[in-house]
Amino acid sequence: MSTKKILTLVFLFSTDAAGKRLVLLGMKKRGFGVGLWNGFGGKVEPGETIEQGARREVEEESGVHVETLHPAGVLWFEFGTDPMGLECHVFTANAHEGTVVETEEMRPQWWDAEALPFDSMWPDDILWWDHILKRQQFAAAFWFAADQKQILRQAVNAVDVL
């Protein structure tokens, strides 16, 4: 592995009138992961911290501001023989300011956090989502086939402090 990209992925939580936990996902309308539901995020740009990058992407893709981000996990992805690895920093947020809007990149929708549309999400998500629900930090790595669909090898571990 010669190079890597640093990415962010933020899951915004809320509760409904009955106290059920809801999570905001966006249907990716273009680019990497198009056609899949996912959290909000993207590449960290030069000169910004990972958290600043995460906040910026949430604002760009959903229209809302999140102040407090909780580190939830770190994901490592490799695809086929591609020398570029992706290091994806996952955060949760329990509060946001502003109104969620559809953007050019994402069509947002609130989901029951315990019933996510895993069939239309990246295939790794179902393998670590329980850690998020249990508020257990995690570190995971996934080696995908070149088709970006099949996971050939994986490791998912709970960790104490990120």
The reply to whether 42 sits near ligand 6OG by the rule CB under 6 A is yes
Q: How far is the CB of 52 from ligand 6OG (least distance, A)?
A: 15
Q: How far is the CB of 17 from ligand 6OG (least distance, A)?
A: 29
The reply to whether 27 sits near ligand 6OG by the rule CB under 6 A is no
| Between 22 and 141, CB nearer to ligand 6OG | 141
The reply to whether 9 sits near ligand 6OG by the rule CB under 6 A is yes
The binder of ligand 6OG chosen from 88, 113, 116, 140 (CB under 6 A): 88
The binder of ligand 6OG chosen from 33, 80, 98, 117 (CB under 6 A): 33
Q: How far is the CB of 108 from ligand 6OG (least distance, A)?
A: 14
The reply to whether 138 sits near ligand 6OG by the rule CB under 6 A is no
Q: What phi and psi values does residue 58 have, to the nearest 5 degrees?
A: -60, -45
User: 3-35 in b/e burial notation, b at 16+ Cβ within 10 A?
Assistant: eeeebbbbbbbbeeeeeeeebbbbbbeeeeeee
Contact present, 91 and 50 (Cβ < 8 Å): no
The binder of ligand 6OG chosen from 6, 15, 43, 117 (CB under 6 A): 43
CB atoms closer than 10 angstroms to residue 51:
17
If we measure between CA atoms, which residue out of 103, 118, 95 comes closest to residue 42?
Answer: 103
The reply to whether 118 sits near ligand 6OG by the rule CB under 6 A is no
- Rg for the chain, CA atoms, rounded: 15
Cα(26)–Cα(89) distance, rounded to whole angstroms? Answer: 17
- In terms of C-beta density within 10 A (0-12 exposed, 13-18 middle, 19 or more buried), how is residue 143 classed? middle
Q: How far is the CB of 18 from ligand 6OG (least distance, A)?
A: 27
Q: What does the binding site for ligand 6OG look like in residue numbers (CB under 6 A)?
A: 7-9, 31-33, 38, 41-43, 77, 86, 88, 122, 124-125
